[in-house]
Amino acid sequence: YYTMTTVSYGGRKGKDDAVKMLALKCSLQNAVQHGGKASVGAVMGKMLGEQPELRGKIGTVRHEAENAVRQVNFISATEQKRRLEKLAPVKEEKKGKERPELPELKDAKMNRVVTRFAPCPSGPLNILQVLRALMLSYLYAEKYNGRFILRFEDTDPSPGKIKKEFYDMIREDMRFLGAKQDDEITESKNMPVFYRYAEKLIEGGHAYVDFTPAEEFRKLKNARKDPEFRSAAPEENMKAWKDMLNGKYRAGEAVLRFKTSMKDPNPAFRDPAIFRIARGDHPLVGNRFCVWPLYNFANSVEDHESGVTHIFRGKEHEHNSYIQNKIYAALGWEPPTVLNFGMIYLPGKKEHTRDIKEKISKGEYTGWDDPRLHTIAALRRRGFRGEAFREVAITAGPSKSDIKFSWDSLETANRRLIDPNANRYMVVFDPVKISLRGYPHKTNFVREPLHPDFPRRGNKRMWVDTSEIMISKDDWKALKGKEFRLKGLANIKLSVRSGNYTGNELKRSMKKIQWVSRKPVDVELTYPDGDKLKIWKGLGETAMNRLKPGEIIQMERIGFAIVESNKSGRLKLLWTHK
């Protein structure tokens, strides 16, 4: 392989070495941030975040990340910091409050914590699933050097709900977030296990097959009366259960119920169904099964079988914990520790997965990564980094308090991550042409640094034609009759369509604006505005011709954007955030 010295301090050139350099840099950054130990999943997420074009080379990315992590974790924390500073020096952050950390976990022991994240593959992940259910499960397993399980809850064969493509989309989202699973479980592949434990409940008198029509059962439940079939002997229930498995009954004709009490104060706890009949063509197991476990039973069995010690889920699931604990007791198991967190409320209208699916099918959304959506795919496309979600999740923590989510918190975390790598460029939207009179210098261009904090990164040429300088319409309206600075060029006082040169002295109080002159690039910026996608057209400086898809830039005085395409002198950008 390669030594850190040769890679860090000027190793071989070429695409392979560039990936190795990126892997080393991301490994050092991750190790320095997390007590000297880098994680392969987090490093891969950082690499793909910085260079999205590497997503087509996941095998190479994983190989280089694993090698780099192995070497970085071998050296001391002091040496990690020294090498990171030499390889990728960063601007020191202003001192302030320390970054928040997750509180200690109840009943947790080092190397013994097992957590799980259990999405239904009915669509890709969205920000609400990630900030607590996913990230808390992953981060606590990481904190205690435990085991993190990805489990697909796919026991609903309803037509169109679960699709094979969604399994891979969820895996891709998790790679991007740096949440690498230690194990993966798919519930639909464990049907014989579910059946075995169902039969244990039947044999023990804890479950019965109920033929009571749904509407009649609701009436009995509200009246706290037992259904006729509740008193059937285990032998009768076992025969009826086998008939269910053999396809004797249609959907709705029979269910398997768990015996609690029909007089329980809470109607939701009165003999809940734990298996139902449902026929459909499941994307993984086809039509092999017609009897499927419901949420509480499937969760109880899978959590027990995989040794889960801690479960993180919303407080709206507290009643499910009660039923699951009853199932645990009936099967003679110890229940895991459950932490119920509060709801996260997004500003604006919430859209359910089924609504998004419908709008995609109608062409109202361009896909799951449509910039208007709150899916991880959409936010990744816009230039958000996986590490930003981690920071926000730690800040939110596992509290039972409800949270009104602020986009500012995610954007602040993301800005900290992308700013050091985002070169600065001038873009003028709704351009107005002015001329500059009295400019004393005979030059075709001026030089400006690509990034003010990293002068070693180099400069860019900004072509100048004093008879044709473009500024934004808003600036033109606001600055008529006033003195201001064309950033990097000159101070001027604007009349209507021309400005007089007033010097080149940098004045702190003087407004500085972006401008474009010769050889401009046509720029289209797509940005979400509520439920609409809008396009803002303008002109960018010549150096933007060299930008590549996936690069994130900062448009001076406007905000960050990611390059979507750059062809034939037309640069298409997608808005990230301010």
CATH number, domain of 441, equals 2.40.240.10
Residue 98 lies in a domain: no
* 139 and 173 belong to one structural domain: yes
Residues 354 and 308 in one domain: yes
Half-sphere exposure in the Cβ direction for 451 (13 Å, CA): 15
Q: Is residue 448 part of a domain?
A: yes
Residue whose C-alpha is closest to residue 516's, from 572, 458, 568, 556: 556
Give the tokens for residue 528.
């979400």
Given a contact cutoff of 8 angstroms between Cβ atoms, the answer to whether 142 and 102 are in contact is no
Final residue of a structural domain among 236, 270, 296: 296
pLDDT at 2: 35
225 and 306 both lie in a single domain: no
The predicted pLDDT at position 96 comes to: 45
**43 falls within a domain:** yes
Q: Clarify whether residues 261 and 373 are in a common domain.
A: no
The pair of structure tokens assigned to 450 is 């690509």
Angle among Cα 218, 224, 229 to the nearest 5 degrees reads 70
For residues 151 and 180, membership in a common domain is answered with: yes
Quick one: pLDDT at residue 14? Answer: 53
User: CA 244 to CA 247: how far, in whole Å?
Assistant: 5
Residue 80 lies in a domain: yes
| pLDDT at res. 81 | 86
* CA 72 – CA 83 distance, rounded (Å): 10
pLDDT of residue 8: 33
Residue among 488, 482, 470 nearest 510 (CA): 482
Domain end: 279, 296, 313, which one?
296
97 domain residue, yes or no: no
183 and 257, same domain (yes or no): no
pLDDT of residue 99: 65
Domain containing residue 375: CATH number: 3.40.50.620
Helix (H) or strand (E) holding 31: helix 15-33
Which domain range does residue 408 map to?
Answer: 114-188+301-416
pLDDT of residue 415: 97
SS3 for 212-271 is CCHHHHHHHHHHCCCCHHHHCCHHHHHHHHHHHHCCCCCCCCCEEEECCCCCCCCHHHCC
pLDDT of residue 3: 39
What amino acid occupies position 311?
A: I
Residue 103, domain member (yes or no): no
Residues 536 and 507 in one domain: yes
For residues 333 and 286, state if they share a domain: no
Domain count, the chain: 4
For every one of its 578 residues, what pLDDT tens digit does the chain have, with 9 covering 90 and above?
A: 333 433 332 333 456 788 898 999 989 988 887 778 888 878 887 887 677 667 678 888 888 989 999 999 989 888 888 888 888 765 444 444 566 789 999 899 999 999 999 999 999 999 999 999 999 999 999 999 999 999 999 999 998 899 999 999 999 999 999 999 999 999 999 999 999 999 999 999 999 999 999 999 999 999 999 999 999 999 999 999 999 999 999 999 999 999 999 999 999 999 999 999 999 999 999 999 999 999 999 999 999 999 999 999 999 899 999 999 999 999 999 999 999 999 988 887 778 899 999 999 999 999 999 999 999 999 999 999 999 999 999 999 999 989 889 999 999 999 999 999 999 999 999 999 999 999 998 889 999 999 999 988 999 999 999 999 999 999 999 999 999 999 999 999 999 899 999 999 988 899 999 999 999 999 999 999 988 999 999 999 999 999 999 999 999 999 999 999 999 889 999 999 99
What pLDDT shows up at residue 51? 77
Q: Does 313 share its domain with 401?
A: yes
Position 15 scores a pLDDT of: 62
Domain boundary among 374, 397, 416: 416
Domain shared by 442 and 567, yes or no: yes
Is residue 96 situated within a structural domain? no
Within 10 Å of residue 240's Cβ, how many Cβ atoms?
A: 20
Inside any domain, residue 128:
yes
Query: Based on the domain organization, do 279 and 245 belong to the same domain?
Result: yes
Instruction: Provide the angle, in degrees to the nearest 10, between the axes of the packed helices 40-50 and 386-396.
Output: 120
Same domain as 444, residue 340? no
CA nearest to 300, candidates 409, 187, 383, 142: 187
